[in-house]
Amino acid sequence: MSFKIPMTRTLLGMAVGLALSVGPLTAQAQSDDDVTMGFIVKKPEQAWFINEQDAATKLGEEKGFEVVRLSGEDGQQVLSAIDNLHSQGAQGFVICPPDVRLGPAIMHRAKQYGMKVVTVDDRFVGTDGEPMENVPHLGMSGYKIGQQVGNAIAAEMERRGWDPENVAALRITNYELPTAKARTDGATDALLESGFKKDNIFDAPQQNTDTSSAFAAASPVFAKRGDFEHWVIYALNEESVLGGVRASEQYGLSADQVIGVGINGSGAAFAEFSREKPTGFHGTVAVSSTMHGRQSAANLYKWITEGEKPPANTETTGTLMTRDNWKDVREELGL
């Protein structure tokens, strides 16, 4: 789940201003057979979000409600998407926001239209910097998922007989996203608890959260730290870890010198595991994007039709997927 949208006071102000420009509106009445909901994602081209929207759409076909799939890659596009949904008579929407700080502006616009809102994957943050508890959320426990990554790396290091004193860690970071920080913090803590040296952890701040930006961030780190022969790589998602792995290959490191573990369990990982020869991408902590899409849509549908508001925060964990078990895990999680 990747993004990097520069957020400025100007954009936030514009978003809030646009929300305020909409006059008071009356919530539409709805029946079980007349439900329309939106599903807005920040990166519609990524496999994770395609799976989520597909799962929500399939549920809609089963239950008899309509799902409108929309893109919201920045604040303005999200607000336009909400306007679009209102014009189609939608009673609410599921959203993975492009920036969690847009929460107040998004909720203001939704309330103007009488729409119910459920967040998935990334949780809204209020003006006080704290999660918006009044908006139901379904997502990963970022810190626990990160711990799974760190533990998986530590276990593979032990299996290979690596001495932690002589291993470097590439931590590809994006601290502007709370979810990303929680994941990398969890992985770091798990590694340190396993005996990894804190001084051997090197940061690579990325401008975005995709493979190309991770590659650009990682390359200088490998160039500066040529004294290490063994590396581990972790980040907020598998796309970023893959960028680090590609950078390690360009630097000349072989697959048996690198242990990269990502998060998600998507097409990017499947393609890597399907390669004829193993790479430094050891594994990924797979979470069911299908389940996220289906359950968040189901929660919103029940809220719309029965008035039952979903829990404030539902957290999921993951399963380690490697080259050896990825097909079985994929089938088990419905990915």
Distance CA 251, CA 65 (A): 52
Write down how long the chain is: 335
Distance CA 266, CA 284 (A): 9
Distance CA 102, CA 40 (A): 14
Predicted pLDDT at 280: 97
Task: Provide the CATH topology of domain 142-286.
Answer: Rossmann fold (3.40.50)
Predicted pLDDT at 33: 59
Residues 51-96 have pLDDT tens digits of 999 999 999 999 999 999 999 999 999 999 999 999 999 999 999 9
Q: What number of CA atoms fall less than 13 Å from residue 141's CA on the CB side? A: 13
What residue has token string 């520069």?
Answer: 6
Q: One-letter amino acid identity for 251?
A: Y
Domain boundaries, the chain: 36-135+290-315, 142-286
- Which superfamily does CATH assign the domain made up of 36-135+290-315 to? Response regulator (3.40.50.2300)
Predicted pLDDT at 30: 45
Residues 217-268 have pLDDT tens digits of 999 999 999 899 999 999 999 999 999 999 999 999 999 999 999 998 888 8
Q: Are 94 and 300 in contact (CB under 8 A)?
A: yes
**Tokens at 280, concatenated:** 């430094």
Beta strands in the chain (DSSP E): 36-41, 66-71, 92-95, 116-120, 137-140, 167-173, 201-205, 230-234, 258-264, 281-286, 313-316, 319-322
Predicted pLDDT at 12: 45
CB neighbour list of residue 297: distance below 8 Å, 6 or more residues apart = 37, 39, 55, 56, 59, 60, 67, 94
**Tokens at 188, concatenated:** 């770091």
CB neighbour list of residue 282: distance below 8 Å, 6 or more residues apart = 152, 153, 156, 258, 259, 260, 261, 322, 323
Q: Are 253 and 222 in contact (CB under 8 A)?
A: yes
pTM of the model: 0.69
Q: What is the DSSP letter of 27?
A: P
Q: What is the mean pLDDT for each group of 10 consecutive residues in the chain (335 residues)? A: 40 43 39 84 90 96 97 97 97 96 97 98 93 94 93 97 96 88 96 96 92 96 94 96 97 96 90 95 93 96 96 91 94 82
Q: Are 178 and 125 in contact (CB under 8 A)?
A: yes
Distance CA 99, CA 83 (A): 19
Handedness of CA 134, 91, 310, 125 (dihedral sign): negative
142-286 matches 36-135+290-315 in CATH topology:
yes
**Tokens at 130, concatenated:** 């704290």
Q: What is the DSSP letter of 205?
A: E
